[in-house]
Amino acid sequence: MIKELFTCKEVAARYNVSEDTVWRWVRTKKLPAVKIGSRNYRVRLEDLIAFEESQ
């Protein structure tokens, strides 16, 4: 089974950056994220692929 949603911590580990960097990408809309609950965000796999292609 392919994982479809990633936490900011998982994204940070994938790109070897800090979680603060991932949050900055989300806040500036460089990396789209889906809000789940009041304070939780997840990044969809297709958004990660698009992000990688734009770099």
The parent domain of residue 31 ranges over 5-54
Average pLDDT, the chain: 93
Which pTM value belongs to this model?
0.85
Spatial CA neighbour of 4 closest among 54, 48, 53, 51: 48
pLDDT at 49 > cutoff 60: yes
Give the percent of the chain with pLDDT over 70.
Answer: 96
Tokens found for residue 2: 């392919």
- Per the structure, the count of domains in the chain is 1
SS3 state at 30: coil
Question: Which pLDDT score is estimated for 4?
Answer: 92
Give the percent of the chain with pLDDT over 90.
Answer: 84
Cβ contact 4:45 at 8 Å:
yes
Q: What are phi and psi of 33, to 5 degrees?
A: -140, 155
Rounded CA separation 43/24 (Å): 13
pLDDT at 27 > cutoff 60: yes
DSSP state of 31: S
- Which is higher by pLDDT, 55 or 47? 47
